[in-house]
Amino acid sequence: MQTKVVKFGGSSLADAKHFKQVADIIHADPARRFVVPSAPGKRYKDDTKVTDMLYRCYEMIRNHESIDEYYKNIEARYNSIIEELGLDFDISGELAYVKNAMLHASGRDYAASRGEYLNGLILAKYLGFDFIDAESVIFFRENGTFDEERTNTVLGEELARHRNAVIPGFYGSMPNGTIKTFSRGGSDITGAIVARAAAADLYENWTDVSGFLMGDPRVLDHPPTIETITYRELRELSYMGATVLHDESIFPVREAGIPINIRNTNAPEDKGTMIVSSAEGYDKKRVITGLAGKKGFSVIHIEKDRMNAEVGFGRRVLEVLEDNEISFEHLPSGIDTMSIVVATSALEGRRERILNSITRLVKADLVEILDGLCLIAVVGRGMVKSRGTAARVFGAVYNAGVNVRMIDQGSSELNIILGVNEDDYEKALSAIFNEFVK
């Protein structure tokens, strides 16, 4: 029999109605043995996520404000779910314990994690599944990094003792027993960790969309859903702003060769997007898999005669960025020019120091910072076998009247990165999409 690990996001568990949908999905397939829930998300546009409410409580306590009245909103949220589900379950003791722990300086991560913890208790009760506290099976090291091997061993042994179980997402424990959370959206990571430890056949990540779209629907005209995407393609698109799945959640399942299926809780009949290690063949009619873009980049442009003959030139330039704790995104260069693409926000308060340091260290003829750059990634495993892909990309952008400021393509030919002015972002993205999809 197959084993599936299923993770449900906050929008999928926002209220009792969604709890019922989730239960129907889980019970429809006996292979869905292990469930990872998020904290309740927004029920409507102007609603507040429970995690944000818990963060607010933490800040109020730090400012010596009373949380008595505000905390009642959190209590009401969980009690309403229990009542509407018709559960015989008293969670008042747990709610009181959480409040008291926060009042006694349990820490920000503890406060944030309780949304998943409490939701996990309710979901386990409603499903009739066992409850495994993530605190006892997911571990971090002293320096705050995730302890992958210890977690995999302990969690794997614990899961083997249960036919079905609910494991709350988003958190684990430090060596001293205190709670530590992953970054926001970290329940995706917990789901992947559980999938690896369970040696699952599939990791289903249920959210409020039917998989990955080929591009941003706010910019493009009805972009289709990507049916199958490789982990490498997903990493490229996620890095450039495609945010259906936490990008760090890829690694545990990728190493174990476990596919991920992105599904829609509100449309469970949709197949969603399958994320796999490798996709044999490719659709020749659709050369590219997806498009993504991100604004807010700057270029540090350097010119110097005979730069190419000067040993260590690039190293000295990059040392300046390292000394200022700035990572670079791309490094397109010519014989006598070097360009470094960095996030504009990283330059704040450091511009003059960087310009002066580079000029002094390499005795450059010109060093300048050019702002207002947007990067667009054209990603697809089929590009390597399709002639003229780059010509089509740049032809489409040219015909749209957009000037290309930067080009970067890796030797794998998995993607083409082009930089354009931020004002041309939507125009360039639409032009490329229409060339390959319409």
Share of the chain above pLDDT 90, in %: 74
What are the residues facing 297 on neighbouring strands?
343, 373
User: Could you give the 3-state DSSP secondary structure of residue 205?
Assistant: strand
Q: Which residues are CB-contacts of 65 (< 8 A; sequence separation ≥ 6)?
A: none
Q: Which residues are CB-contacts of 428 (< 8 A; sequence separation ≥ 6)?
A: 293, 374, 376, 397, 400, 402, 418, 420
What does the block give as tokens for 10? 């906050």
User: Shortest CA distance to 183 belongs to which of 231, 144, 149?
Assistant: 144
Write the DSSP assignment of 343-403 as a string of letters. EGGGGTTTHHHHHHHHHHHH--SEEEEEEEEEEEEEE-GGGGGSTTHHHHHHHHHHHTT--
Q: What is the pLDDT of residue 333?
A: 83
CATH of domain 290-436: 3.30.2130.10
Q: What is the pLDDT of residue 250?
A: 80
Q: What is the pLDDT of residue 410?
A: 67
Helix (H) or strand (E) holding 416: strand 415-421
Q: What is the pLDDT of residue 237?
A: 84
Residue 414 to residue 380: CA distance in whole angstroms: 6
Instruction: Tally Cβ neighbours within 10 Å of residue 58.
Output: 19
Provide mean pLDDT across the span 11-36. 97
How far separated are the first and last CA of the chain, in Å rounded? 42
- The Cα angle at residue 369 between residues 365 and 374, in degrees rounded to 5: 135
User: Shortest CA distance to 22 belongs to which of 37, 33, 2?
Assistant: 37
* Residue 315 backbone dihedrals phi, psi, to 5 degrees: -60, -45
- The confidence band for 285, taking pLDDT boundaries of 50, 70 and 90, is low
Summary mean pLDDT of the chain: 92
pTM: 0.84
Using CA atoms, how far residue 219 sits from 100, 292, 332, 429, in Å, is 47, 11, 27, 8
- The confidence band for 245, taking pLDDT boundaries of 50, 70 and 90, is confident
User: Could you give the 3-state DSSP secondary structure of residue 124?
Assistant: helix
Q: What is the pLDDT of residue 411?
A: 62
pLDDT tens, residue by residue, 141-196: 999 999 999 999 999 999 999 999 999 999 999 999 999 999 877 889 999 999 99
Give the chain's largest Cα–Cα span.
78
CATH topology of domain 4-276: Carbamate kinase (3.40.1160)
Residue 198 to residue 165: CA distance in whole angstroms: 11
CB-based contact 292:428 (threshold 8 Å):
no
pLDDT tens, residue by residue, 317-343: 999 999 999 999 888 888 899 999 999
CB-based contact 236:379 (threshold 8 Å):
yes
pLDDT at 371 over 60: yes
User: Could you give the 3-state DSSP secondary structure of residue 211?
Assistant: coil
Share of the chain above pLDDT 70, in %: 96
- The confidence band for 401, taking pLDDT boundaries of 50, 70 and 90, is very high
Higher pLDDT, 278 or 367: 367
User: Shortest CA distance to 291 belongs to which of 376, 385, 398?
Assistant: 376
Residue 282 to residue 226: CA distance in whole angstroms: 12
Q: What is the residue extent of each domain of the chain?
A: 4-276, 290-436
Higher pLDDT, 233 or 53: 53
Q: What is the pLDDT of residue 284?
A: 56
Using CA atoms, how far residue 145 sits from 36, 173, 175, 245, in Å, is 21, 11, 11, 20
pLDDT tens, residue by residue, 74-98: 999 999 999 999 999 999 999 999 9
pLDDT at 283 over 60: no
Torsion sign (Cα): 170, 174, 178, 180: negative
CB-based contact 169:134 (threshold 8 Å):
yes
What does the block give as tokens for 373? 């750059």
